[in-house]
Structure 1
Amino acid sequence: MASSASPAQGSQTPSEKGLYERWRRTFSSMTGAGLTPEEQEAEVEGRNHRTCEQWKAQMMEYSPAVTFMLKHLELSGCPVKPSNIECGRCDWTRSGGFMPEGKIVLCQGRIFNKSHMEHTLTHELVHMYDQCKFKVDWLNLRHHACSEIRANSLGGDCKWAREIQRGFLSISKQHQECVRRRAVLSVKGNPACPDEAAAERAVNEVWESCFSDTRPFDEIY
């Protein structure tokens, strides 16, 4: 009796079958064909994680702003290893975060290109620098506001092109307005902050001294 397998399948060597299986998995991950919703989600997260790790390594090696911050953190006694910067899942509202115990999280799937990652990572490294140098009390709204002002100003978050992408356009003092708006938004999310008015008040109280403090940069990046 003739075999029910197709000639191509029946004549495959073990290495050819392995190659075909890898191709099938790659095709499925690209198209979602043949995968359950859970498998599709896992494939997407896997790709996001690999991309995030690849870009992170490139930033730590080649980005002028990131390597500058890493150098000054080391000079300040707080060296940063790749393991201190993690790629992980976050909610849709953020692209990164800093944890006072010395960890930075880059939100895989929420970082859209290398420039976005550079700004995000530099922002979080400014927080890490402030923690290292000034022992920030993150539940103190004035402390939090100061670090947010500095991170938003120095990290590249408020560059003109980024603001245009967000739908904000200001003819004068665009940078300052962006820094203030984003600092208030961050402080508002502090569990010790009762309302937006308190966040605005904290930002206003420290604005002059913290906006003018560009350490470790000589000027706004």
Structure 2
Amino acid sequence: MSDPAAAPAAEASTPTPTPASVPGFESWRRSLAHLTGLGLSDDERLLRDKEEERRRLEKDWDKCERWKKEMMTRSPIIVFMLKHLQLAGCPFPSSAMQCHPCDASRAGGFSPEHGILLCQNRFMNRRHMEDTLAHELLHAFDHCRFRVDWMNLRHHACTEIRAANLSGDCRWSREVKRGYWAFSAQHQACVRRRAVLSVMAHPKCQGKEDAERAVGEVWDSCFRDTRPFDDIY
């Protein structure tokens, strides 16, 4: 027969649960530490940041690739440009349009050697990416059809005028979001401004006046040239 007096002592000897001994507490604590950064060592925080960056890059890449593939079959302007590149003898497969992270200075680019760069982390929305891809496909078309000399400022100015004019990059809604609007000649002003900015980045350009001169010299003929479109998109 047990001694009733011993029961309190036995109960008193039972260890009080601590948070660390509760099942699942440690994994919860670690998750919270990784979320907030509190309680992590410098090495653990560095590993956490690298893992978050990796996941962000993968997410951006997946979205960029998904949108690109959809545009290649469903976007009227992208399908149209791909068709005319094919007709011009320069087919542009999906592999020639690469999604990569970029700095804040660009949303895309075209290189005769490497194809089109789509800056996966720079797109505000699907329409922004569509306009960017159309812009770069116009450069690809000009390079294929007209044999652009990319080291010639006048050639560069002409293809920049055409790309800004025809890609949708200067539509009224885009300009308003940039803080530019006018009741007349807004489209022309946008095309000229963006062409000048692009030419200014050319390694042979000596400054804004040099870029404005190159754009001005080819403006009339290049702004009127809507090939392969019948009119401004």
TM-score after normalising by structure 1: 0.85
Cα deviation 1:5-62 (Å, max 9, x = unaligned): 86689xxxxxxxxxxxxxx99x999x68786222222211111111111111111110
- Corresponding residue number in structure 2 for 1:119: 131
86, 100, 103: which is aligned to 1:74?
Answer: 86
The aligned counterpart of 2:225 is 213
Contact 1:102 1:128 in 2 (8 A): no
Q: Give the root-mean-square deviation of aligned CA atoms.
A: 2.3
Aligned AA for 2:99? C
C-alpha offsets along residues 91-131 of structure 1, whole Å, 9 cap, x if unaligned?
10211100022510000110111111110000000000000
Q: How many residues align?
A: 203
1:45 partnered with 2:57 = yes
* Residue 97 (structure 1) aligned to one of 69, 86, 109: 109
**In structure 2, what is the Cα distance between the partners aligned to 1:55 and 1:79?**
20
> Which portions of structure 1, spanning 4 or more consecutive aligned residues, are displaced by more than 4 angstroms?
4-9, 31-35
Contact 1:90 1:108 (C-alpha < 8 Å) held by counterparts? yes
Unaligned 5+ runs, structure 2: 1-19, 38-44
Aligned to 1:156: 168
1:195 and 1:85, CA in 2 relative to 1: closer, same or farther beyond 3 A? same
Provide closer, same or farther for how the CA distance between residues 194 and 8 of structure 1 changes in structure 2, counting only shifts above 3 A: closer
Q: 2:156 aligns with which of 116, 120, 144?
A: 144
Aligned to 1:109: 121
Query: CA contact under 8 A between 1:59 and 1:66: conserved in structure 2?
Result: yes
**Is 1:59–2:71 an aligned residue pair?**
yes
Task: Give the unaligned 5+ runs of structure 1.
Answer: 10-23
Alpha-carbon distance in 1 for matches of 2:64, 2:91: 21
Give the TM-score taking structure 2 as reference length. 0.81
1:164 partner amino acid: V
Tell me if the contact between 1:32 and 1:40 (Cα under 8 Å) persists in the aligned partners.
no
1: distance between equivalents of 2:73 and 2:103?
Answer: 28
SS of the residue corresponding to residue 184 of structure 1 reads helix
The residue aligned with 1:199 is 211
Match for residue 188 of structure 1 among 200, 207, 210? 200
Q: Distance in 1 between matches of 2:176 and 2:73?
A: 29
1 or 2 for the larger relative contact order (CA 8 Å, sep ≥6)? 1
Q: Does 1:165 align with 2:200?
A: no
Q: CA deviation at 1:144?
A: 0.2
Alpha-carbon distance, 1:170 to partner: 1.2
**Given that residues 119 and 155 in structure 1 are in contact (C-alpha distance below 8 angstroms), is that contact kept between their aligned partners in structure 2?**
yes
CA contact (8 A) 1:122 1:155 kept: yes
Aligned to 2:13: none
In the alignment, which of 122, 128, 136 is matched to residue 140 of structure 2?
128
Is the alpha carbon distance of 1:39 and 1:195 closer, same or farther for their aligned partners in structure 2, counting shifts above 3 Å? same
Q: How does 1:4-23 map to 2 (within 5 A)?
A: none
CA distance in 2, matches of 1:208, 1:83: 35
Q: Tell me, in whole angstroms, the C-alpha distance in 2 between the residues paired with 1:60 and 1:101.
A: 21
